[in-house]
Structure 1
Amino acid sequence: MKKLLGSLMLFVMGWKFKNEVPVYELRKCVLICAPHTSNWDLYYCLASFWCLKIPYKVMIKDAYTKPWYGFFFKAIGCLGVDRSQWNNLVQYSSELIKNSESMALINTPEATRSRSLKWKKGFYYIAKQANVPIALAYADYKNKVTGVSKIINIGDKPIEEVFDQIEIFYKPEMAKYPENYNPKIY
C-alpha cells in the first residue's frame, strides 16, 4: 500500500523516482538526505522510501513528536531527538540498526533547513559503529527527481575521505533553496 501511495505522491507533484542502488544494499544502512533546505524534503524522501518498500526510521527534532500531533510523525517512522541534551545518540542509533533485521536510519546531517557551516558527523559514526554503509538519498528540485543514488562502504576509510565522496555528489542546484545549501560540508 505504501509503495502505491509513494508513487501517487510523486505523480501528483510531477516528480519521478529513480533508484540507482540495489534494494538489498539498503536493508541495513544509514541513509542521508541532502540538501535539506525545506520541509518538503521530507515529503519527497518519504515518498521515495515508500516506493522502495524498505523499513526505515527518521531522526527529527522531538518538538515534532511530543505535541498532540506527534502520533502522526511516529506513525510515519520518525524518532524524536532532544538535541539540547547529550543522549549518546550514536550508540542508541547503531544499536537500533544492529538489532533490526532490516532498517535504514534516515538522517539529515545539515541539522537545519537554514544554511549550515558544516554537517553533523554523527551519521558517519553510527554507520561505522553499526558496520553498515552510508546511502546517499536526494530530492532534486531542479529536475524533479528523488531517489537513492550511491552507497559508500566505510570500512577503514577516514571521515575526510567519506565526506569528500559525499561532497562531490550533492550540488546546491538540487536544493529547493540553493542559497541555503553549503556545498562545503566539513
Structure 2
Amino acid sequence: MIHVISKFIFHKILGWKIDGSFRGDIKKYVLIGAPHTSWKDFPIAILTRNVIQIPIDFVGKASLFKPPFGFIYRKLGGTPVDRTKSSNFVDSVVQIYNEKEEFRLGISPEGTRKLAKKWKTGFYYIAKGANVPIVMFAFDFGNKTIKVAEPFYTTHDKEADFAHFLSFYKDVKGAKPELFNAENLL
C-alpha cells in the first residue's frame, strides 16, 4: 500500500520521474545524493525509495535511535553509529557493511544543506574500505527528476574519480541552486 501511495504522490501530485535505474541486484553500495540544498530532499528521497521498492539505508548518531522516537529512524532504514568509541566514522560504517548481507547506504556528500565549499570524502573512503561501488543520484528540481547513474567502482586516482562525479552533477539544479557548486567537489 505504501508503494502505491508513494507512486501516486511522487508521480501524479509532485510530478517527479526517475531517469535511470537503482540496482536491486547489487546488495551493497554507497548511494550518494546531491545536491542536498533543502529539507525537501529527504522526503523526496523517502518517496523515491518507496517507489523503487529497494531498501536504502542511512546512518545516524546512536542517540537518535533511543526511545521514545528511535524506532521511527530504524523503520525508515536507519542504522546507529556509535561515535563514542575510538573508531572513526568511516571505519564504523565499513564495519556495518562487513556485518550485513545487504546494505545500501544513502548519504549526502555535502554533509549540509548550506553551500559546501568542498564535498566531504567519507563516502569515497567508505566505498573503498568496504569494496563496494558508488551509485550517484541527483535531486534535479529543475526537471523534477531523480537522475541515477550506473554503479562506479573507485580507482587509485581520486582526482579522476571526482572528475567523474562532477560530470554527472554539473548540470543538475537543486531545490536552491545557489547552494550547490559542482565545480568545487574536491
TM-score, normalized by the shorter chain, greater than 0.5: yes
Distance (whole Å) between structure 1 residues aligned to residue 20 and residue 172 of structure 2: 20
Give per-residue Cα distances to partners, 1:86-139, cap 9 Å, x unaligned: 751111211212322222111101010000011111111110111100000121
SS at 1:55's partner residue? coil
SS at 1:23's partner residue? coil
1:117 aligns to 2:117 (yes or no): yes
| Residues 185 and 148 of structure 1: CA distance in aligned 2, closer, same or farther (over 3 Å) | same
Structure 1 residues without counterparts, runs of 5 or longer = none
Distance (whole Å) between structure 2 residues aligned to residue 117 and residue 83 of structure 1: 25
Distance (whole Å) between structure 1 residues aligned to residue 50 and residue 31 of structure 2: 14
1:101 aligns to 2:83 (yes or no): no
| Residues 149 and 2 of structure 1: CA distance in aligned 2, closer, same or farther (over 3 Å) | farther
Corresponding residue for 1:165?
A: 164
Instruction: State whether residues 139 and 172 of structure 2, in contact with CA within 8 Å, keep that contact through their aligned partners in structure 1.
Output: no
TM-score by length of structure 2 reads: 0.84
SS at 1:33's partner residue? strand
Distance (whole Å) between structure 1 residues aligned to residue 179 and residue 83 of structure 2: 21
Corresponding residue for 2:47?
A: 47
Corresponding residue for 2:19?
A: 18
Q: Report how far residue 47 of structure 1 moved.
A: 1.8
User: Which structure would you say has the larger Rg?
Assistant: 2
**Identity within the alignment, %:** 33
Instruction: State whether residues 138 and 147 of structure 2, in contact with CA within 8 Å, keep that contact through their aligned partners in structure 1.
Output: yes
Give the letter aligned to residue 35 of structure 1: P
TM-score by length of structure 1 reads: 0.84
Corresponding residue for 1:150?
A: 150
SS at 2:151's partner residue? strand
Aligned length: 184
